[in-house]
Amino acid sequence: MFNKFKFKNSACVEIFKILCALSVSSSAYAIDMSNTTSVKQLKAVESSIQVVQSQKINTINKIDVFVNKGVITSNQINTAVKLLQSSYRQKGMPVPNTPDFRNNVVNQMIILQVELDIAKRAGIQTSDIEVNNAINGIVKSSGMNMAQFKDRLISEGVSLDDLRKQASDQITAEKLKQREVDGRIVISDDEVNRILNSEAYKKRVDYDLSYIIINVPEQSSQQVMLERKKLANDAYMALKNGKAFIDVSAHYSNATNALDGGVLGWRSNVALPSVIANALQGQAVGYYTPVIQLPMGYLIFKINGVRGIGTPQIVKQYNVSHILIKVNENNSDDEAHHKINMIESTLQKYKNNTEEEKVEFVKLAKQYSEDTSSINGGDIGWIGKGDTVPTFESTVIHTPVGVVSAPVRTPFGWHILMVNAVRDSDQTTDREKATIRQELREMKATLMYVEWIRNIRDSAYVKKNEN
């Protein structure tokens, strides 16, 4: 019987079979095959099915971008947008919802996917423990308990699993950055001394900066160079016409933190490349430079704050002890991670007795730590911003006094640490050398990271689905 009708798709056949079966018990669905009216009814059913299918196609999770051998889907983009908007709400910032914002999220996702591909080939992984620690930190900073935090995520259209996936990817990307960029920065004593003894240092000025960058691929044609320069000039004109820096950044900039306004933080004029320092010289808060050309692209800088060399440098210092299990050819990442977890588990038995915990920490540091500080029970003395690698520094800053931290991975291996005390110190003179070293490191790392991101992005296969 079904062969008498030629349906446009198999779904119509299945629906037709169901309707015929229902005709036995329900006259509402009965179709008389012998008369013209029934045939018209059948065609109407087929037409309705096509409309429903057309509507369904519009909600399918389509592929938006092809990246190397993977894809980024519309659902993934929607989730990333919602997660970023959620973080804006948590920080009390205005929540953007514009095409520029979404496009920049997509560009960030492309770069992240390329980084994850490289990390996978390099064997870089992120453990559940690391993700749990990251999530617990986010929940703690929100001022909520876990149940409240989950409810808030659900109300914003995302889940805890979405956040866990994002945290895992970001931790993996940060590990890759540490290896490919941070771990390769070398600042010599000669560089530091040359700056400290220079005439420019006597007139030192510190700038709190934000930036916009329009990347230029390596070995670009003259046409591409002109196109990128035009974009940079368009961004500059938008600023001249009164558009907010953060909005221009979101629309034009290729910086990984473009959606946050490209914040760089405090930089000394003596640590900046001369072309940038010269453009900033003598300018006040709120000033933004004309377009500056560097090898990696075109840049615009904004001054958010200015301070002279005489300004007291009040810094927070931390007295820290740590235990290090190195990762090397004789000790894999998994082995080192397992060992540091065992040490942490031992210390957990004493978490309700601070004094006993400190005594046990010293014993375990002397017994297991592979750092030279082990002879002192892991005590590395007073440290401040810039004295250690970023992940270790961040853990120190966020660990309460007298509490053993969760395991943290750095380029050296796996650590646990304890902050013994915290103090504020005027380091205007004492820390000049350390400060200038850190500023040189940060500036080199920023420029190297921008160039590295540009290179891996240019070498990847990326195709946006325009359909």
Residues 112 and 18 in one domain: no
Q: Is residue 302 assigned to a domain?
A: yes
- pLDDT tens readout for residues 76-111: 999 988 888 888 787 777 777 778 788 888 988 999
d(CA 185, CA 437): 11
Instruction: Please spell the DSSP secondary structure of 145-212, one letter per residue.
Output: -HHHHHHHHHHTT--HHHHHHHHHHHHHHHHHHHHHTGGG----HHHHHHHHTSHHHHT-EEEEEEEE
φ and ψ of 459, to 5 deg: -85, -10
Residues 124 and 162 in one domain: yes
Say how many C-beta atoms besides its own lie within 10 A of residue 148's C-beta. Answer: 12
Query: Per the structure, how many domains does the chain have?
Result: 4
Q: Return the pLDDT at 313.
A: 61
Residues 232 and 328 in one domain: no
Question: What's the mean pLDDT when you consider all of the chain?
Answer: 82
Residues 106 and 13 in one domain: no
Residues 420 and 324 in one domain: yes
Residue that has been written with the tokens 């908007």 in this structure: 85
Residue that has been written with the tokens 């996936």 in this structure: 165
Q: Is residue 196 assigned to a domain?
A: no
Q: Is residue 185 assigned to a domain?
A: no
Q: Return the pLDDT at 409.
A: 93
Helix or strand run (H / E) with residue 300? strand 297-308
Residues 323 and 373 in one domain: yes
Q: Return the pLDDT at 310.
A: 56
Residues 139 and 285 in one domain: no
d(CA 358, CA 105): 45
Q: Is residue 199 assigned to a domain?
A: no
Max CA distance (Å), the chain: 103
d(CA 433, CA 421): 24
Residue type, 165: K
**Closest of 198, 180, 196 to residue 188, by C-alpha:** 196
Residue 90, SS3 per DSSP: helix
Residue that has been written with the tokens 């591909």 in this structure: 117
Q: Is residue 190 assigned to a domain?
A: no
Helix or strand run (H / E) with residue 305? strand 297-308
Identify the domain containing residue 18 by its residue range: 2-57
Residue type, 285: V
Q: What angle do CA 420, 422, 424 make, to 5 degrees?
A: 160
Residues 419 and 436 in one domain: no
Residues 72 and 35 in one domain: no
Residues 17 and 102 in one domain: no
d(CA 228, CA 238): 15
Residues 73 and 175 in one domain: yes
- The domain spanning residue 176 has which CATH number? 1.10.4030.10
Residues 147 and 210 in one domain: no
- Per-residue buried b or exposed e for 51-87, using 16+ beta carbons within 10 Å of the residue's own CB: eeeeeeeeeeeeebbebeeeebeeebbebbbbbbbbe
Q: pTM of whole model > 0.95?
A: no
Q: Which of 145, 180, 215 is the last residue of a domain?
A: 180
Residue 15 is encoded by which pair of tokens? Answer: 């629906």
In terms of DSSP bridges, do strands 70-73 and 205-215 run parallel, antiparallel, or are they unpaired?
unpaired
Write the DSSP symbol of residue 406: P
Q: Is residue 194 assigned to a domain?
A: no
d(CA 463, CA 182): 30
Q: Which residues of the chain have pLDDT under 50?
A: 1-58
**Closest of 24, 54, 34 to residue 42, by C-alpha:** 34
Q: Which of 148, 180, 212 is the last residue of a domain?
A: 180
CB neighbour class for 39 (10 Å; exposed up to 12, middle 13-18, buried from 19): middle
Instruction: Please spell the DSSP secondary structure of 252-274, one letter per residue.
Output: H---TTGGGT-EEEEEETTTS-H
> With the C-alpha atoms ordered 155, 156, 159, 163, is the resulting torsion angle positive or negative?
negative
d(CA 309, CA 320): 29
Q: Is residue 192 assigned to a domain?
A: no
What distances in angstroms separate CA 379 from CA 166, 179, 401, 418, 420, one per listed residue? 35, 26, 14, 9, 9
Residue 274 is encoded by which pair of tokens? Answer: 């001369």
Residue 230 is encoded by which pair of tokens? Answer: 């035009």
CB neighbour class for 32 (10 Å; exposed up to 12, middle 13-18, buried from 19): exposed
Q: Return the pLDDT at 361.
A: 95
Q: Is residue 343 assigned to a domain?
A: yes
- The domain spanning residue 342 has which CATH number? 3.10.50.40
